[in-house]
Chains A and B, each alone.
Chain A
Amino acid sequence: MSMKKDYEDIPGTFVFDADRSREGYHLNQFCISLGKQKGRDAYTADPEAYLASFPMTEDQRQAVRDQNWNRMLELGGNVYYTAKLAAYHGINFQGLAGLMTGMGREEYRDMMLNGGRSIEGNRYKSEWGEE
C-alpha cells in the first residue's frame, strides 16, 4: 500500500518528498557541489567530464546543459540545490524564480513589490485547468 499524497493537487508546485529525493539524488549532489570553489573549478575546466562523474540520467544531464530549470525540478531536482547551479551561471533566487515562472526577472520583481502572487485561484490544480 502506498502513502496518500494529499499535496499532489497543488498547482505549479513540486513537493520534494522521498520519491523525488531518490530520483533527483545525483542531480542534486552535482548542483550542491557547485556551492564550493573546488566543484566550480572542476565544472569550468571540463563541463562534460564533470557531469559524467555524477551518475545522473541522460535527461537530467541535458536539463543541466540546457539550463532548463523547470525540467530539473520535474526530474527530481530541488530548488535549494538547483539554485547553486543558477548561482554558478550568475542567476540569483529572484532571477531563477523569474525564469521558472516564465515571467522574466523584471515582471516577477514587480509582482513581488506589489504583494506577490495571490493565493486566490492558486490553491488547486483544478483552478489551473489541470488534473
Chain B
Amino acid sequence: MARITAGVSCSHVPAIGVAMDTGITDQPYWKPCFDGFVKSREWMKENTPDVIFLVYNDHCTAFDASCIPTFALGCAAEFQPADEGWGPRPVPVVKNHQKLASHIAQSLILDEFDMTIMNEMDVDHGLTVPLSLMFGEHGVDDEWPCQVIPLAVNVVQYPAPTGNRCYNLGKAVARAVESYDEDLNVMVFGTGGMSHQLQYKRAGLINPEWDKRFLDMLVNDPVAASQIPHVEYLREAGSEGVEMVMWHVMRGALKETAKEVHRHYHVPASNTAVGHLILENV
C-alpha cells in the first residue's frame, strides 16, 4: 500500500531559485537562508520518497486571468519548467507518477473535492523552488530524485480556498494515497509564505511574531490553525501571505500526532519571510 511518511512546508520565493541558479547562495545575503536547509537536504537523502504530492500556486504562468481553477491537479506524464519572462529555470523536467495521480483525481472527486484535471501544464517557480531547496542543485540534463504530482491552488484572485477546505482536502489526499495498491513512500509538500506583501503602499510587511505562532499552531493544533480566517492572513501576514492556506493541505494529509523534526525561519528573502517545517508521521 502507498503511505504518507512525511510532510514538508517551505516558501517558494523566486529569488531563491535565482540565487541557486546563479551560484550565489554563499553570499552573506543568502547564506543564513540556505543554512537552514542543510539539515533538510541530508534528511531528504536519507528519506527520499518515491513520490511528492506538491501543493503550490501558479503565478499567472499556466493560468492567466482567463481561467482560474481553485484546485488543479497535474495528471500529465511530465511538466516542463515554465518561461516566466526570463527564460525557464535550468532545472530538470518534473516527472509525474501518472497512475497515482489519476487514482488521486478519481478518489478526490468521488470524495466531493471537485478537481480540475491538467493533462498539459508548465510549472513555475512555485513548484520548482521547493524541489531545489530540498534536493539542492540539479541541472537541466539531470533528474529530480523522485516523481512529483503537482496540485496548483488559486491564491492570486481572492478568495483562495479556506484553510478549513485545504485541511480537509489534505485528509482526502491521505485517504486517496492509502487506498492505492502499489507500495510507495509518498511525501506531501505545502509551499508558499510566510508573511509578505508585494503590492501597493504597505509592500514589505513582515510579521515574525505571527509567523512563528502559525508554525507552532500548524504543528501542535492543526485544526485551530485551519480555522484562521482569510482577513487575518491579509491583515497580519500581508496580502500575499494568504498563500499559507496551502500549508493546511500538507498538515491535513499527515496524522495529528505527526512529529516536528526540523524548523527554519529567516527574514528576508527578497520581500518575504522564509519559513520551513519537516513533519514525520509517527
Contact = CB atoms under 8 A, between A and B. Distances in A.
Interface of B: 14-15, 29, 59-61, 64-66, 83-86, 156-159, 195, 197-210, 230-231, 234-236, 239, 267-268, 270-271, 273
A7 B230 contact: yes
Nearest to B87: A37
A74 to B, nearest CB: 9
The dominant DSSP class at the B interface is: loop
- Which of B195, B200, B208, B267 is packed against the most chain A CB atoms within 10 Å? B200
A87 B270 contact: no
13 contacts: A10-B234, A13-B197, A73-B199, A79-B200, A84-B85, A88-B85, A93-B14, A96-B198, A97-B203, A100-B201, A112-B267, A112-B271, A116-B195
Given A14-B239, A35-B84, A35-B85, A28 B267 contact: no
Name the interface size band of chain A: 35 or more
A122 interface: yes
Contact of A117 (B157, B204, B210, B239): B204
A6 interface: yes
A87 to B, nearest CB: 5
A116 B205 contact: yes
B41 to A, nearest CB: 26
A100 B85 contact: no
A116 B273 contact: yes
A64 interface: no
A29 B270 contact: no
Given A14-B199, A81-B60, A112-B268, A119 B205 contact: yes
